[in-house]
């Protein structure tokens, strides 16, 4: 940790800290929503420690709470986290050498830690930013989830506090930056229409998976040169 602090300096840590604290707040809402949905107390804690992926965790719980199949929930979560494959190819050098470091580094790979690492040009600062953000988020997220889980049992109905809005709000926040691209916007709209139409007659979870068809029909056609 001393090496990370020296490499990033006070300004680097100051930029990362608010993101970690905000993650703890969202994690608390996740824990409270899970308990409020009637799911066991250990589930959000286990998911946060083992999966450590906010979007996929919210999606998994959302599908299960709506009565969807656990298989559909797992598949949806895996598809959301499939973006980590190109992340790993771009940032494999920040983990360092050794199997344990690579396993730990892969587990801490989420959007925020990747974004802070890619923002640094210097290899040492890139590695320090990745580990500082990843470790900070892991601690804050899991602490927030644990507090939210305990708090959810106390307040009774988390929905009364508007915490049920956290699930769509988090997903929307993750999607909005990508919607600046016309092709991505087209894929999202088509996928949303497919999911909305099929939700009227399919079990919960399946419309989300079918909505991925928007990726195929929205791919722009490439002009073949004559």
Cα–Cα distance, 118 to 115 (Å, whole number): 5
Question: Would residue 25 count as lying in a domain?
Answer: yes
Residues 136 and 197 in one domain: no
Residues 113 and 37 in one domain: yes
Residues 72 and 157 in one domain: yes
Residues 172 and 186 in one domain: no
Residues 191 and 143 in one domain: no
Residues 27 and 60 in one domain: yes
Question: Would residue 226 count as lying in a domain?
Answer: no
Cα–Cα distance, 198 to 202 (Å, whole number): 6
Residues 51 and 153 in one domain: yes
Let me know: does 72 contact 206? Beta carbons within 8 Å. Answer: yes
Q: Give residue 72's domain range.
A: 2-179
Report the C-alpha dihedral over residues 158, 164, 167, 169, rounded to 10 degrees.
Answer: -120
Residues 192 and 169 in one domain: no
Question: Would residue 27 count as lying in a domain?
Answer: yes
Question: Would residue 215 count as lying in a domain?
Answer: yes
Question: Would residue 50 count as lying in a domain?
Answer: yes
Residues 21 and 100 in one domain: yes
Residues 49 and 125 in one domain: yes
Which among 81, 172, 91, 89 is positioned nearest to 126, based on CA atoms?
91
Question: Would residue 151 count as lying in a domain?
Answer: yes
Residues 152 and 162 in one domain: yes
Per residue in 1-59, pLDDT tens? 567 777 787 788 888 888 888 888 888 888 888 888 788 889 999 999 998 988 788 88
Number of domains in the chain: 2
> What is the chain's pLDDT, residue by residue, as a tens digit (226 residues)?
567 777 787 788 888 888 888 888 888 888 888 888 788 889 999 999 998 988 788 888 888 887 878 888 888 888 878 778 878 887 878 887 788 888 888 899 888 888 888 888 888 888 888 999 999 999 999 999 999 898 876 655 555 555 555 556 655 665 666 677 787 788 888 888 888 888 888 776 677 777 777 767 655 554 444 4
Residues 17 and 64 in one domain: yes
HEC string of the chain equals: CHHHHHHHHHHHHHHHHHHHHHHHHHHHHHHHHHHHCCCCCHHHHHHHHHCCCHHHHHHHHHHHHCCCCHHHHHHHHHHHHCCHHHHHHHHHHHCCCCHHHHHHHHHCCCHHHHHHHHCCCCHHHHHHHHHHHHHHHHHHHHHHHHHHHHHHHHHCCHHHHCHHHHHHHHHHHHHHHHHHCHHHHHHHHHHHHHHHHHCCCCCCCHHHHHCCHHHHHCCCCCCCCC
């Amino acid at each position: 940790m001393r090496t990370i602090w020296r490499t990033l300096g006070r300004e680097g840590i100051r930029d990362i800290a608010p993101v970690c604290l905000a993650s703890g707040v969202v994690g608390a809402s996740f824990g409270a929503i899970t308990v409020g949905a009637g799911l066991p107390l250990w589930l959000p804690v286990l998911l946060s420690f083992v999966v450590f992926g906010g979007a996929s965790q919210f999606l998994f719980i959302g599908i299960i709470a709506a009565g969807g199949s656990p298989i559909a929930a797992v598949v949806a979560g895996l598809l959301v986290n499939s973006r980590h494959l190109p992340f790993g190819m771009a940032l494999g050098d920040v983990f360092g050498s050794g199997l344990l470091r690579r396993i730990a580094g892969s587990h801490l790979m989420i959007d925020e830690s990747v974004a802070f690492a890619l923002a640094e040009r210097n290899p040492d600062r890139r590695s320090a930013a990745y580990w500082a953000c990843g470790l900070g988020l892991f601690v804050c997220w899991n602490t927030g989830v644990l507090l939210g889980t305990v708090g959810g049992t106390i307040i009774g109905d988390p929905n009364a506090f508007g915490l049920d809005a956290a699930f769509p709000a988090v997903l929307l926040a993750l999607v909005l930056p990508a919607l600046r691209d016309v092709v991505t916007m087209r894929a999202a709209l088509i996928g949303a229409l497919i999911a909305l139409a099929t939700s009227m007659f399919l079990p919960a979870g399946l419309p989300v998976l079918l909505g991925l068809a928007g990726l195929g029909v929205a791919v722009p056609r490439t002009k073949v040169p004559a």
